[in-house]
Amino acid sequence: MSSTEQGTSSAAPAEPTTAPESAAAPEVPESFYYVHGKDKVVHKVSAGALQHSALIHGMISNLGYTEEQAKANPFPFENIDGDILQMVVDWCNQHKGKPTPPEDTNLPKQKEKLFDLVLAVNYLEIKELLTYCCKQVAMMVKGKSPEEIREIWMIPTDAEDEAAEKEAKKRAGKEAAGETAAAAGDAK
């Protein structure tokens, strides 16, 4: 598992604590990198675990960081909530260097968390985990009627969609009119 420490929102990332990676240490010392999400909590993750993420793997390859540089410059993922990033890091660690199983029972069952996880995993380009997540999303509506699906996935009806669209257009029109008036005032 990764070691994590509550960080602050200051520019300098908090020093992560290090815990033994596993009982059987590899012969060649492993490289570690650091990531943090919106909550600034820094996660120390091995290069092996990060291989799952095509995005991070690409960043590592391109930057060519030394361990010190990596420590001083955690990869920031400000668009990912801290606990979602924690889930991703945990999954990467659990599946480090292992063939991924056909099912994954450790995925969150709460639908809102699952959707956030899907977005994060898609952003981080973790193909296998995305496949599991999408399967889990599909399972949420297994055997459900259209009305039940609409409720579970909060799908607006066509009427609600149209109303929202009208409202958005109205708002945009008002904003545009306001900008024009302001511009005319400036010109005077």
Give me the residues that bind another protein (CB under 8 A), please: 9, 38-40, 79-84, 110-113, 115-116, 118-120, 122, 130-131, 134-135, 137-138, 141-146, 149-150, 153-158, 161
Considering the complex, state which of residue 127 and residue 182 has its C-beta at the smaller distance from another protein. 127
Contacts of 99 (CB under 8 A, 6+ apart): none
Which SS3 state, helix, strand or coil, does residue 66 take?
coil
Sequence-ordered list of residues with C-beta below 8 angstroms from that of 140, at least 6 positions apart, any chain = 111, 114, 152, 153
Q: Which is nearer to another protein, 70 or 133 (CB)?
A: 133
Of 35 and 120, which CB lies nearer to another protein in the complex structure?
120
Measured from the CB atom, the residue of 71 and 113 that comes closer to another protein is 113
Least distance CB 79 / another protein (angstroms): 6
Which token pair is 138? 């599909």
Report in angstroms how near the CB of residue 153 gets to another protein at its nearest: 3
In 3D space, the residue among 134, 126, 48 whose CA is nearest the CA of residue 80 turns out to be: 126
- Closest to 41 measured CA to CA, from 11, 71, 6, 15: 6
Dihedral sign for Cα atoms in the order 6, 113, 48, 59: negative
Residues 151, 35: Cα–Cα separation, whole Å: 36
Comparison of 16 and 32: residue with beta carbon closer to another protein: 16
